[in-house]
Amino acid sequence: MSKLLLVRHGDTEAGSGLRYWGQTDVKLSAVGLRQAESLRNRLATQKIDALYTSNLMRASVTAKAIASEHQLDVTTCTELNEVNFGKVEGLTFDEVNQLYPEVAQTWVSRSLSLSFPDGEDFDKFNNRVSKFLSRLEKHTPEEVILIVAHAGPLRILLCHILGLELCHWRQFRLDLASLSIVETYSQGAIVSLLNDVSHLT
């Protein structure tokens, strides 16, 4: 693989910091658009050879903002879309706990048996996201790859790339508009930056 730049999309009109928006196609808020511009400025001089993004607007608009400083095609990948929360879409955790207490308990316990009513279960989510890894294998070690997505898929990718058990997937904090960097080698991968938001200050 290569050097990977992992970016979570910016803030959304629907309050992505408080509510669970999975595959609902919410737009970036005014704050989110400014965050995307900050990411663009942060990465303006960074070598980037390929850019992949979720096809949901909040990620793809963030990706296109960054790409505007580079001669880059933006490749959209449904594998990078956020988990389908089903009936949990748009709820806060307190609302989930009230309406679907078993789901909330499974979520809190970090159980891999997690399943969202009328949405994806963890196995289906993981299988979808992990298919993206085959795209990375096509790149040479010298290349720098930018991935703009959502907290869930990025956490899954980190586990796979770092060789961690999937039960650790929710132990990565990835804030809105954050940048993380993973350097990959034949012997394994190293996280050189995690959840950096210094460009937002």
Active site residue ranges: 9, 82
Contact 53, 59 (CB under 8 A): yes
Extract the runs of DSSP E, i.e. beta strands, from the chain: 3-8, 50-53, 74-76, 144-149, 179-185, 188-196
Transcribe 141-157 into DSSP letters: TT-EEEEEE-HHHHHHH
Paired sense of beta strands 3-8 and 179-185, if any: antiparallel
Question: What are the structure tokens assigned to 74, written together?
Answer: 């933006």
Transcribe 19-53 into DSSP letters: S--SSS-PPB-HHHHHHHHHHHHHTTTS--SEEEE
Task: Measure the CA–CA gap between 150 and 62, rounded to whole angstroms.
Answer: 11
Q: Among 65, 110, 60, 61, which Cα is nearest to 80's?
A: 60
Q: Among 154, 130, 138, 133, which Cα is nearest to 62's?
A: 154
